[in-house]
Structure formats: structure tokens, C-alpha cells
Amino acid sequence: MKKTLFTPYNMNGISLENRFLMAPMTRSRASQPNDIPNKLMAEYYGQRASAGLIITEASQISLQGKGYAKTPGIYTQDQIDGWKLVTNEVHKKRSKIFLQLWHVGRVSSSQVNGLQPMGPSAKTAKETTVYIFDGAPKGDATFVPVEEPKAMTKEDIKHVIQEFKMAAKNAVEAGFDGVEIHGANGYLIDQFLRSNSNIRTDEYGGSQENRIRLLTEITQAVANEIGIEKTGVRLSPFISFKDMNDPEILETIMLASKKLEEIGVTYIHLCEADWDDAPEIPKTFRTELRNTFSKTIIATGNKTPTEANELLEKNLVDLVGFGRKFLTNPDYPKRVELNTEMNEITDNHTLFGGGTERGYTDYPFLDKNI
């Protein structure tokens, strides 16, 4: 049987109605104070529950892990209760939903959370900014430079591992079907993976084996807490923004994939570059990853449905993520099925922040008569 985006899929015991994945997208709509998920967010995710699987926007595991204003957390009871609104709404629509667990590491500013950032080493990410919402017109985000991070002690590392573990437990309490450990895009775990941001000389730095240690220890702790079937990992081998260019990263990612295979996690989610002139992912990398990792492989990065179906049919991936298309088209799978028109982003001012439905839950569905 030919595999397409509309083919059902069993993801390590979790039944998905199709292979469309709604990719994680930061939208900064959490209620203030205290970064609490809310009814508007529940409506937003519920509208898009025709995806076989939804991965939420990144959610910080602690105040220290926060890097951008108004992003939701998963470390207080109020946040857990807020997320229950979201999971209930998505499950009513028969979809599945994972929470993305986030620690930004050095990509932060005291203007965001009142704390000095911390990372593997005391190296500031060059030409990197985060955003706040103080004083900007139209409620826009104001971008501020990241600050010099504190080099994490071994006690800091132990504490972060426990925070990931507790966040995963909280996510299950909130009703999520699982969690995705954010090891991509220049944030804390990715900072440990890369030789240019990690210049430690202890067991968490130096060799590739040492640089993957934090990822594997966090992943094992989460899997032990909630089960391997509920544990996924996101990686970004071909993305180097936030001052993350590392010539060894492909070898490091493949070594990490072997360790994730040993742990038995449910999936590896590749975050791939989504700009027009982005580097193309070599087929050799996809083939090696498939030969290395036996569970679910997800690819996200501005794929067309045709490109997605080709990857599925060649058995190089099992699910394909779509971000901006789901942002503007809550019924994206139906529009693909009918090969009909797509909504486009109407106002860039509404991408991040805002407390109303404008540019968030007001994108129209297809006419019911189509």
C-alpha cells in the first residue's frame, strides 16, 4: 500500500489518523503574569486538530529556561491546569498532542526573566536577540540582545536534568500524550552538542561522546519517568543560526541518534531549514539516519505535500511537519485533500504576542459547501 500524508500511522503504540504533524510554533499568547496557557490557546490548537499529531509551541521547564516573553511554562500547577484546557480540546477532536519541553540556555536576557542566562560555557551567542513586549507600537515584540551566560556547574546540570524530568511528569498530568525534548535551534541542549558553544573540559565537553551526554541523560531521565513511548527528541543538524556553526555537528547528531536508539525513544524530529535558499538535506544523511534509528522519524521544514509524500513513499520519514501552513489554515489537511486555495499570513504584527483572536484563531476554514 502506497504511503501518503493521509495514511494512518502507529507511532510506537500511539495511533495517529494521518501523517500530518502540526509543527511547534512560538506564538506568545500565554496569560500574564506567570505564563499560563489559556482558553484562547485551547481554541487555537483545537481548530488544528485534524493533524494526526500536534507538537505544541516550546514551553519552558523553569523560569531560568525562559528566553522570550509570554511563552507558556510547564513548571507550576496553574500552568498544568491551563494546559489541560488544550489537551481536552484536542482530544475531543480525536487528535494526539505532545508538549515540547524547552530550556533556552544562553539565548536569553535578564530583561525577559530577571535572571542571568546560563549555558555550557560563558560564551555569548553573537548577533542573537530575544524579545519582550515593553513599549513597542501595536503590541509588537521588541528585540533585545542576549546577555553573557554563566557557565553551568555540575550542580546546575543535575538540576536541569531534574527540571526536564519534572516537566515531563507535569505534562502527563496535564493530559499530553507525550513530550518532545527540544534539542534543536541553538537552545540549551543544542549548545552542549556543538563544539563552538561548548568549550568545557569536563565530562560534558570536549569529545563528541561528552557533548551528547546532557542530551542522553535528560532523555533517559524523561523516559524513565513517563515511558519511552511518550518520549521524543527534536534535533537540527543543518541549522546554524544563533551562532551555532559547528563543522562536527553531523557526526555528533548521528552519534546521538545511536544513543537515542539504545534508549528506545519514540521519535527523532528533524527541524530542517525553511527559508527559500536553505541547504538541501542530503539523501545520504536521511538514509544513514534510517539505518541508525529504527523508530519514527519526522521531518519539518517548509515541505510541499508532494515533497512530503515522496519522503514517505521512499521510507525516509514517517511523519511530516507543517508550521506556517497550519498557522494560517486550521483545516490544512482538508485543503491539501481538495487541492484548494490556502490562507496566507494577513499581518506579521500578530505572529508573536497579542491577547486576542486576531491573526491567531480568526483564520477562516474552508466553506462548508466545498
Model confidence over 216-267: pLDDT tens digits? 999 999 999 999 999 999 999 988 889 999 999 999 999 999 999 999 999 9
Beta bridge partners of 119: 151
What pLDDT was estimated at residue 6? 98
Report how far residue 308's alpha carbon sits from residue 20's, in angstroms, rounded to the nearest whole number: 9
State the average pLDDT for the chain. 95
Rounded (5°) CA angle 319-219-193: 90
pLDDT per position as a tens digit, 18-43: 999 999 999 999 999 999 999 999 99
Residue 138 reports pLDDT greater than 80: no
38 vs 85: CA distance, rounded Å: 7
Q: Give the amino acid at 39.
A: K
CB atoms inside a 10 Å sphere around CB 254: 16
pLDDT at 277 over 60: no
Q: Catalytic residue among 9, 45, 68, 187, which? A: 187
Q: Is the pTM of this model over 0.95?
A: yes
Distance between CA 136 and CA 89 in Å, rounded?
33
C-alpha neighbours within 13 Å on the C-beta side of residue 157? 22
Amino acid in the structure at residue 124 = T
Sequence letter at residue 209: E
- pLDDT for residue 330: 98
Distances (CA, A) of 367 to 38, 129, 312, 331, 370: 28, 41, 30, 11, 6
Nearest Cα to Cα of residue 150 among 109, 120, 182: 120
pLDDT digits (tens, 9 = 90+) for 282-341: 889 999 999 999 999 999 998 999 999 999 999 999 999 999 999 999 999 999 999 999
Which domains can be identified in the chain, with CATH numbers?
9-350 (3.20.20.70)
Q: What is the pLDDT of residue 141?
A: 86
Share above pLDDT 70 across residues of the chain, in percent, rounded to a whole number = 96
Q: Is the pLDDT of residue 370 over 50?
A: no
Rounded (5°) CA angle 76-82-86: 135
Q: What is the mean pLDDT of residues 345-364?
A: 90
Catalytic status, residue 187: yes
pLDDT of residue 276: 57
Residue 323: Cβ-neighbour burial (10 angstroms; 0-12, 13-18, 19+):
middle
What is the predicted pLDDT for the residue at 172?
98
> 6-15, 117-126, 148-157, 346-355 — which is least confidently predicted?
346-355
- pLDDT band, very low/low/confident/very high, at 367 (cuts 50, 70, 90): confident
For the cut 70, the answer to whether the pLDDT of residue 344 exceeds it is: yes
